Chains A and B, each alone.
Chain A
């Protein structure tokens, strides 16, 4: 697979759900392109999405009942499928956010970790 640039990160497997839920929660109903676009915009183009992978994820999330979809017209009046977050999706978002924060802070601690302090505790 070709990278677009060294400074762009692939979206982690598993975080995609969080990103999609958060985007839909914040911005309301969006179609697939819209979701992909916003994720890249919000991340200031740091997060690179292999945009096609969005669709299987959207299908799974809809099957889980976290999002719902409806056919409508896009800005330029083309038929598009709009996804919006459901109540179950918001609950899921809260959980995922919590988990992510816990994970992030744990990783943070590892990065801030100073070997000398651990050595002291050992003694």
Chain B
């Protein structure tokens, strides 16, 4: 048999089916007409002629059926029949269909969106070669409470004897002033060792990396990012060999990195030799100047723990060469991916993924429960079908087809929802995940979508086949008058009760977690920031690179005067850094300390102008702010925050006291504390304020920082163009970058929390709703099937109130069982997520109580209507009906 040819013909038949059937219809018609004519000619009456013709043609429908099986494929044709039948039944019970599809679609949409986020942020590989083998190496010092500290060059030279790595590269992120066409611009850059790209396993897209020799000779060479190449050279090959002006020095472009490459910062645009730091000699030679970050590539076959133990041994071996203060330092190894997306963001995402999966489970449970209920009421239909000769395989197949239709519809609707959700996520602030773009950029991923659709199908089948197993177990009994056998419905109800208990257990876990997050968020929002951020805007600003430090004061004076005189400006201040990016440990010696023993204090030093504190709205607690007398000639003065004042002078007034950096006999100057300000939370609301020292900008003018302007405008951003113009008037080569309101910057610290919390709250709201629908459906059905029983109870004297209580109690019992189970799980889960909590304990009773209360309330509400219906059953009518 030439089956390939038949196969092709049948495949073609599949397409042109309608045409074939019409053709057959015409042939049959012609055939019967011709037969009739022949019979007429042989002298039959018209009626007899026609019936004889039909007789000799034979039965038409079975023949057509046979024709169809030949036309395409037998299985397909019955499948199409099942499909038509499924669509018809689903349309007939539109309520059930819509409930099932909507439930699944919401769950699948949410899962696809969250999984896309997980995939984009956690699973998509970084743009380097074999990223799993890349490791960050940090200096660790338990005694100094340092876990991921930077490292001195001297130590790194020693680390290089390690045999665990094919290479260790050093780098340090910097920001540089790029001058082009008479304007200056601040850009992110990195200074890197010559082996940097080979360690990452990346080759320049064009040109080359600099050599050891070039780095050693401190040649001015640079690699540029793809974006920089496009922006400044319009993608022209002439870029290679071209000169750019960086920090006032000409530098030659020798290479262009591939598009999508980023390291260490996402927006880094220039990479220069690590030797180009002006203070390179001290960075290289002096021990204890810990400025470098280190990335290494593990040698094949070496595991992270192996490398860790070797590095620890190397660090131990260094101790004998080190002064006591620097001994007992270790090395922390951390996979690069973990460094890029920190453990907290990671944990938050996985937690959301787990939460949304719980929602999916609840939705699946609900759909299974719905299908079970529907299965029972369809017992009669199945019995009839079985009686007419349908095999149980055929009935199960029918159920499978129905579930598939539901799953496909839910999958399609869910994908649409996911797409909308992702678009919404994308339109939100990219900082929302606590990650800058493009890492934070989430896209709907084909693989994820495929997984979601597969999941939808699996759930559809599982939920759809649940009734099938029960139907198989029992006799399909056509004779029972209602078509419902009590025993079968009892078995089903038991299964449904278990499902509802499971739903409540999952729901309380979600509600409790959401409660914990909500309360943490409220706590974080309520924290006193130490600022008065309304109507304040800040701009990043740098002094022109060619300006010697002595002349910076002049620049700042001019700038602050000019800006303060702008209409709408109330106060203008300057600080070397508005928010704290890093703190350092300093030795401080107070004058009063008789023994002169220095204290180690982890603190932050900044230089500020006199009006800075009034501009940000930080209140003065004692003493005075800086003023024009605190110039370079005057004795050095500082203002400290309350945290430092309490630390250094716990019992008394700090104003008027003096301290110096380093031990008492060091050559540094004594600083006179002239004021104490309130603690500003410059690391976000959730970090306790660190000790802070503010020096006078006039006495120690920094190279750049933030211009902070308090305005009279409701939208302070409107003043920005005037400020930029003022800066240009003073010096066109002073680069101004990002401007943002203080309120927005403070809120940005809370964005990830807000995002996590609102998602979690949304998920638990869905869970609550689904649990309510689940328990309502169950109790409602239970009342409907027990009409007769309730009638009997009433007939023998049960009070209506007790019937009401009985039904309500049924719902409450299920809810309580589920809650008891759920709480057992929820408490350890809360404890495990304590890193995400703020200001509450992991077993926060109010969160738990609110969750329990909500779910109990929902179960009472959901049982209330069925209970009322049960109460109003007329015993006579109930008994007569059944």
Contact = CB atoms under 8 A, between A and B. Distances in A.
B57 A31 contact: no
A109 interface: no
A82 to B, nearest CB: 11
Nearest to A75: B34
A36 B1 contact: no
A25 interface: no
Interface stretch (B60-68, B245-253, B343-351, B743-751): B60-68
B71 interface: yes
Given A36-B31, A55-B24, A65 B59 contact: no
A58 B463 CA distance: 45
B282 interface: no
A81 B55 CA distance: 22
Contact of B30 (A37, A53, A80): A80
A114 B825 CA distance: 91
A59 interface: yes
Contacts of A116: none
A51 B56 contact: yes
B5 A63 contact: yes
A76 B376 CA distance: 59
A64 B30 contact: no
A53 B10 contact: no
A96 interface: no
Nearest to A35: B31
A101 interface: no
Interface string A55-80: 11001101111000001001000111
Interface string B219-258: 0000000000000000000000000000000000000000
A117 interface: no
Given A59-B71, A63-B9, A81-B23, A31 B30 contact: yes
Given A2-B55, A51-B35, A56-B63, A79 B26 contact: yes
Contact of B31 (A33, A62, A79): A33
B840 to A, nearest CB: 74
B326 interface: no
Given A33-B34, A51-B58, A52-B57, A63 B70 contact: yes
| Residue among A33, A64, A71 with most chain B CB within 10 A | A33
A27 to B, nearest CB: 16
The prevalent SS among residues of B at the interface is helix
B69 to A, nearest CB: 8
Given A50-B58, A63-B5, A64-B6, A55 B35 contact: no
A88 B204 CA distance: 65
Nearest to A74: B30
Contacts of A33: 30-31, 34-35
A55 B5 CA distance: 19
Contact of B63 (A31, A52, A65, A71): A52
Contacts of A71: 23
A65 B761 CA distance: 66
A86 B34 CA distance: 26
A54 B23 CA distance: 15
Contact of B5 (A36, A37, A51, A65): A65
B815 to A, nearest CB: 61
Contacts of B31: 31-33, 36, 51
Nearest to B12: A63
B2 interface: yes
A64 B66 CA distance: 16
Contacts of A53: 58, 63, 66
Nearest to B65: A56
Contact of A59 (B1, B55, B60, B67): B67
A4 B24 CA distance: 26
B59 A52 contact: yes
B27 A32 contact: yes
A105 to B, nearest CB: 26
Nearest to A66: B2
Nearest to B69: A56
Contact of B27 (A2, A62, A64, A80): A80
B338 interface: no
B59 to A, nearest CB: 7
B28 interface: yes
Nearest to A63: B9
| Residue among A56, A62, A74, A80 with most chain B CB within 10 A | A56
Interface string A72-100: 00100011110000000000000000000
A42 B881 CA distance: 69
Contacts of B70: 56, 59-60, 63
Contacts of B71: 59
A53 B62 CA distance: 9
Given A62-B9, A63-B5, A63-B6, A55 B58 contact: no
Contacts of A78: 30, 33
Contacts of B2: 64-65
B51 to A, nearest CB: 12
B30 A55 contact: no
A50 B31 CA distance: 12
B67 to A, nearest CB: 5
Nearest to B35: A33
Contacts of A52: 28, 57-60, 63
Interface string B1-21: 110011001100000000000
Interface string B38-63: 10000000000000000111111001
A23 B35 CA distance: 19
B654 to A, nearest CB: 100
Contacts of B66: 53, 56
Nearest to B34: A33
| Residue among B2, B33, B57, B71 with most chain A CB within 10 A | B57
A80 B30 CA distance: 7
A79 B31 CA distance: 11
A64 B1 contact: yes
A59 B31 CA distance: 16
A60 B66 CA distance: 11
Contacts of B5: 63-65
Contacts of B60: 52
B1 to A, nearest CB: 7
B27 A31 contact: yes
A55 B9 contact: no
Contacts of A59: 67, 70-71
Contacts of A80: 27, 30
Interface in A11-53: 31-33, 36-37, 50-53
29 contacts: A31-B30, A32-B30, A32-B31, A33-B35, A50-B57, A51-B57, A52-B28, A52-B57, A52-B58, A52-B63, A53-B63, A53-B66, A55-B28, A55-B63, A56-B67, A59-B67, A60-B70, A63-B5, A63-B70, A64-B2, A64-B5, A64-B6, A65-B5, A74-B34, A78-B33, A80-B30, A81-B23, A81-B26, A81-B27
Interface of B: 1-2, 5-6, 9-10, 23-24, 26-28, 30-31, 33-35, 38, 55-60, 63, 66-67, 70-71
Given A36-B31, A37-B34, 17 more contacts: A4-B56, A32-B31, A37-B38, A50-B58, A51-B58, A52-B57, A52-B58, A55-B28, A56-B63, A60-B70, A63-B5, A63-B6, A64-B1, A64-B2, A64-B6, A78-B30, A79-B26
Interface of A: 2, 4, 31-33, 36-37, 50-53, 55-56, 59-60, 62-65, 71, 74, 78-81
Nearest 6 CB-CB pairings of A with B: A63-B9, A52-B58, A50-B58, A52-B63, A33-B34, A56-B66
